[in-house]
Structure 1
Amino acid sequence: MTQEIENFIMYMREERHTSENTELSYERDLKKLCQFLAEQDMEDVEQISETMLNSYILYLEKIGRKASTISRSIASMKAFFHYLAREERIEHDPSENLKAPKIEKKLPEILTVEETERLLEQPSGTSPKELRDRAMLELLYATGIRVSELIHLKISEINLNLEFVTCKDAHKERVVPFGDKAREAVLAYLENGRPFLVDDDACELLFTNCSGKAMSRQGFWKLIKHYGAMAGIEADITPHTLRHSFAAHLVSNGADLHSVQEMLGHSDIATTQVYNALNQGRVREVYKKAHPRG
C-alpha cells in the first residue's frame, strides 16, 4: 500500500496541482490508515473493504480523535480509493459510502473595530522593523488576503497608484483593492524600512524578516501576538484574525457576500456566509443588551 500512496501523492501533485500542505495532509492520513491495516495483516489494497475502513473510523473515534480530524481522514481515503479505482488498481471503491461525522461549525474569532484600530496603532515607531510591521498589519486588514499570500507577496504584485494587490495561485488570480491608510503605510515602509532590511537587489518579496529573507507564518504569528498583547486585546489572535475581521466588518457595513467572496478568494459562497451568520449573532447580542425587554 505504501507504493500506491506514493503514486497517489505524485498524481495529486502533477495532475491536480494540489498545494504542498494538502499533499502532506493526505500522506499523513493515509500512512496512519496503512499502519492500522498492517496491524490487521492487511496490506494489499485489493483486499480492503468498506467494513475495514469503517473499523478504522471507529478506532479513530475510540482513541478520541476530533470530528474534524476524522472528516479529514475520510476525505483523504475517498480521494485515494477513487484514484485507485480510476487507475483500475481496485475493482470497487470501498470508501464510496463512508459518511463524515457532523462537525459543529465554530464561528471565527474576530476583533471589534475599536480593537482593530488599537492593534494597527501599536507599531508606531520609525524603525525599519516597525515600519514593516505597520505596513503588514494595515495591508492585511485592508485586503483580507491570507497570511501565506501576504508573506509571499512580490513588489510587482502591488500597485500603489491604483491601490490593489494581485494574488495568484496554481489555478487563478484575483485582484483585491485597498485604501489610503494601507497605501501610506506601505509607501513609508518602501522608502524608509525595506532598504535597511533587504540588501539583495534580486529579492522580489515585498516583506521579509529582519535578515532580508522570506518571513515564515510562525514569524508573523509571533508578530501579531506581540502587538495584540501590547494593545491589551484579550481575544485569541491568530494569523487569520485580521482576515476574519476584514470580512466581518465589510458584511456588517453592508457589503454583499459575493463581493466579499471574490476578495477573499473563496470558491464556494457557503464559506463566506459564515460572516453573515457572525453578523446576525452580533445583532442579536446587541439587541439582548440594549432592548428593554431583551
Structure 2
Amino acid sequence: MDISKLNLNKNDQQILAQFENYLLIVLSLAKNSVNAYLSDTEKWMIYCKSLNLSYLEVKASDLEKYYQISYGDKMAISSATRSLSSLHNFYSFLQDIDLIGANPVDNLTRPQKSSVLPSVLSYEEVDRLLNAPDLNSKFGIRDRAILETMYAAGLRVSEATRLELADLHLSMHLINVVGKGNVERIVPLNDAAVHFLELYFSKIRKSIVNGNETAVFLNYQGHPISRQSIWKMVKKYLQIAGIDKKVTPHTLRHSFATHLISNGADLRSVQELLGHRNVSTTQIYTHIANNLLLKVYNETKPRK
C-alpha cells in the first residue's frame, strides 16, 4: 500500500508506515493481510479526525460508536472480526512504541462467530467443476491445472497465486506451499493434479511466460495470475458445470478437507495439510463430514 497517497496528515502517515513494518517484520503477516489491516486502520484514523478525536486517547465506548455508525447491526461477522483484529494490533503497536498505555480494544466484546458451516461440494460436483474447462483451448488447460491443484492440495487462493516454480516437486508428487504468516508446508499432489500441471507446462506456460517470470500460474500477459482472476474463473466454470450453490475458490479447500475426513483421515493430518496453527480450526470439517453422512443415511436408510 502506498501510504503517502492516503488521506492522512504526514504524522499519521509516518505512524501508519511504522505500523506496516510492525505487521510485516514483527508479526510476519502476508502482504494481503497487511494491506487489509492498514485499510481498516486508515478508516479508523479518518473517523477520529472527522470528530477532532485523537486516536491516541480513545476509549472503548468511542470504538463501539464507530462500529455502530460505520457498520450497523448488519456488519458481517468476518468483517467485524478482522477490523477489530486490525485495530487491536494497531494499539498493541502503539503500546510497544510507548505512545499509549492500555489497549482500548481489550475492553470491547468480540463478535461471536456464526455457527453456519461452510459450503462444500460433493464428489460429483467436484468432478463436474474440474471437468468444466475446455481442454482444446489454451487457457482451458491452465484453468484445469489451477482447479486440480487447488483441490488436490487444499490451497487458499493466495497460496495458488504465490506458487513458484521452485515450489513444485512433481516427480515426487509434492509441492511446497507458503501459507499465512509465511509459514511453509509440504503437501502431496494426486495423479490428476500432476498430470494437468505437466500438460500446462509442456503446452501452455512456455508460450505465454513474460521474461524470467517464476510464478507457476500466469495470466494472458505472462505475469502471475491474480486472486480476482481465479475468483472469476471459478464463477465461470460453476455456470458451465451447472452447479447452483454458493461457491467460492475457498470452497475447494473446504471440500478437500471434508472429503479427507469423510474417507477416514485423522484430524491432525488434515490440520498439517491445511496449515492450520490450531486443531480447533480444523475441527469444523468433522461437523461437515458428519452432517453429510447423516444426510446420506436419511436419504438411503432401508426403513422410513
- TM-score with structure 1 length normalisation? 0.89
Supply the distance in 2 between the matched residues of 1:195 and 1:6 (Cα, whole angstroms).
Answer: 39
Corresponding position of 1:8:
19
**1:110 matches 2:120:** yes
Supply the distance in 2 between the matched residues of 1:172 and 1:67 (Cα, whole angstroms).
Answer: 26
Q: Deviations over 1:141-166 (max 9, x none)?
A: 11112222222222221112111101
- TM-score with structure 2 length normalisation? 0.86
Q: Deviations over 1:198-253 (max 9, x none)?
A: 263x2222221132221111211222222221111112331212111111111111
Supply the distance in 2 between the matched residues of 1:220 and 1:67 (Cα, whole angstroms).
Answer: 24
Kindly report structure 1 stretches of 4+ aligned residues shifted beyond 6 Å.
none
Which stretch of structure 1 is more off in the superposition, 54-63 or 79-88? 54-63
How many residue pairs are counted as aligned between the two chains?
A: 292
Q: Deviations over 1:177-211 (max 9, x none)?
A: 012122221222222222222263x2222221132
Which stretch of structure 1 is more off in the superposition, 248-257 or 7-16? 7-16
Supply the distance in 1 between the matched residues of 2:274 and 2:195 (Cα, whole angstroms).
Answer: 22
SS of structure 2 residue aligned to 1:17: coil
- Of 217, 239, 247, the match for 2:227: 217
**Once the 2 structures are TM-superposed, how far is the Cα of residue 63 of structure 1 from its aligned partner?**
6.4
Supply the distance in 2 between the matched residues of 1:222 and 1:230 (Cα, whole angstroms).
Answer: 13
- Of 40, 49, 53, the match for 1:38: 49
**Structure 1 letter corresponding to 2:46:** Q
Structure-2 change in CA distance of 1:141 and 1:93 (3 Å): closer
Which stretch of structure 1 is more off in the superposition, 179-188 or 57-66? 57-66
Corresponding position of 1:188:
199
**Once the 2 structures are TM-superposed, how far is the Cα of residue 126 of structure 1 from its aligned partner?**
3.5
Supply the distance in 2 between the matched residues of 1:168 and 1:52 (Cα, whole angstroms).
Answer: 38
- Which structure 2 residue ranges, 5 or more long, are not aligned? 1-10
Supply the distance in 2 between the matched residues of 1:112 and 1:254 (Cα, whole angstroms).
Answer: 16
Corresponding position of 1:134:
144
How do residues 49-60 of structure 1 correspond to structure 2 at under 5 angstroms? Answer: 49-60=59-70
Supply the distance in 2 between the matched residues of 1:293 and 1:227 (Cα, whole angstroms).
Answer: 39
**1:100 matches 2:126:** no
SS of structure 2 residue aligned to 1:161: helix
Q: Deviations over 1:14-55 (max 9, x none)?
A: 33222222222222222332233334331251x322332333
- Of 90, 102, 111, the match for 2:100: 90
2:157–2:250 CA contact under 8 A, matched in 1: yes
Which stretch of structure 1 is more off in the superposition, 102-111 or 8-17? 8-17
Supply the distance in 2 between the matched residues of 1:125 and 1:278 (Cα, whole angstroms).
Answer: 33
Supply the distance in 2 between the matched residues of 1:101 and 1:186 (Cα, whole angstroms).
Answer: 42
Q: Deviations over 1:108-141 (max 9, x none)?
A: 2111101111122222524332222222222221
Supply the distance in 2 between the matched residues of 1:125 and 1:44 (Cα, whole angstroms).
Answer: 55
1:127–1:193 CA contact under 8 A, matched in 2: no
Corresponding position of 1:172:
183
- Of 245, 262, 270, the match for 1:235: 245
Supply the distance in 1 between the matched residues of 2:270 and 2:53 (Cα, whole angstroms).
Answer: 48
- Which structure 1 residue ranges, 5 or more long, are not aligned? none
SS of structure 1 residue aligned to 2:260: helix
Structure-2 change in CA distance of 1:63 and 1:97 (3 Å): closer
**Structure 2 letter corresponding to 1:249:** H
Structure-2 change in CA distance of 1:198 and 1:57 (3 Å): closer
- Of 252, 266, 274, the match for 2:262: 252
1:128–1:194 CA contact under 8 A, matched in 2: no
Supply the distance in 2 between the matched residues of 1:155 and 1:127 (Cα, whole angstroms).
Answer: 23
**Structure 2 letter corresponding to 1:14:** I
Structure-2 change in CA distance of 1:210 and 1:82 (3 Å): closer
Among the aligned pairs, what percent are the same residue?
Answer: 34
Alignment RMSD: 2.3
Corresponding position of 2:38:
27
